[in-house]
Amino acid sequence: MLKVGICLNKTEFLKKVIENNGGIAKTSDFAANGINKYEVAAFCKKGSIERIRRGFYQLPQSNGSTEEQLIHKLLPQGIICVESALFHYGYSDFSPREWSIAVPRTATRTIKNIEEFPMKAYYIQKEFLDTGKSTGNFNDVILPVYDRERTICDCFKYRTKLDNEIFNKAVNAYAADEKKNLANLSEYAKEMNLYIKVMNIMEVLLNG
Segment 56-78 shows an average pLDDT of 80
pLDDT digits (tens, 9 = 90+) for 22-44: 788 888 888 888 888 888 888 88
What type of residue is 69? Answer: Q
Distances (CA, A) of 9 to 3, 6, 15: 10, 7, 10
pLDDT digits (tens, 9 = 90+) for 75-97: 889 999 999 999 999 999 988 88
Q: Is the pLDDT of residue 2 over 60?
A: no
Segment 103-114 shows an average pLDDT of 82
Q: Where are the domains positioned within the chain? A: 10-58, 69-207
pLDDT digits (tens, 9 = 90+) for 144-165: 999 999 999 999 999 999 999 9
More reliable by pLDDT, 134 or 62: 134
Q: Is the pLDDT of residue 186 over 90?
A: yes
Q: Which of 2-6, 55-59, 139-143, 182-186 has the lowest mean pLDDT?
A: 2-6
Query: How far, in Å, CA of 43 to CA of 23, rounded?
Result: 16
Query: How far, in Å, CA of 158 to CA of 161, rounded?
Result: 5
Report long-range pairs for 144-148 (Cβ below 8 Å, ≥24 apart): 144/78, 144/79, 144/80, 145/79, 145/80, 145/81, 145/84, 145/85, 145/88, 146/79, 146/80, 146/81, 146/85, 146/102, 147/181, 147/184, 148/89, 148/91, 148/174, 148/177, 148/179, 148/180, 148/181
Q: What is the pLDDT of residue 115?
A: 62
Nearest to 123 by CA among 97, 88, 158, 165: 158
Q: What is the pLDDT of residue 160?
A: 94
Q: What is the pLDDT of residue 7?
A: 39
Of all residues in the chain, the percent with pLDDT exceeding 90 is 52
CATH class for the region spanning 69-207:
alpha beta
pTM, full prediction: 0.75
Mean pLDDT score of the chain: 88
pLDDT digits (tens, 9 = 90+) for 6-18: 335 877 888 888 8
Q: HSE (CB half, 13 Å, CA atoms) of 112?
A: 5
The strand pair at 56-58 and 50-53 is best described as antiparallel
Of all residues in the chain, the percent with pLDDT exceeding 70 is 92
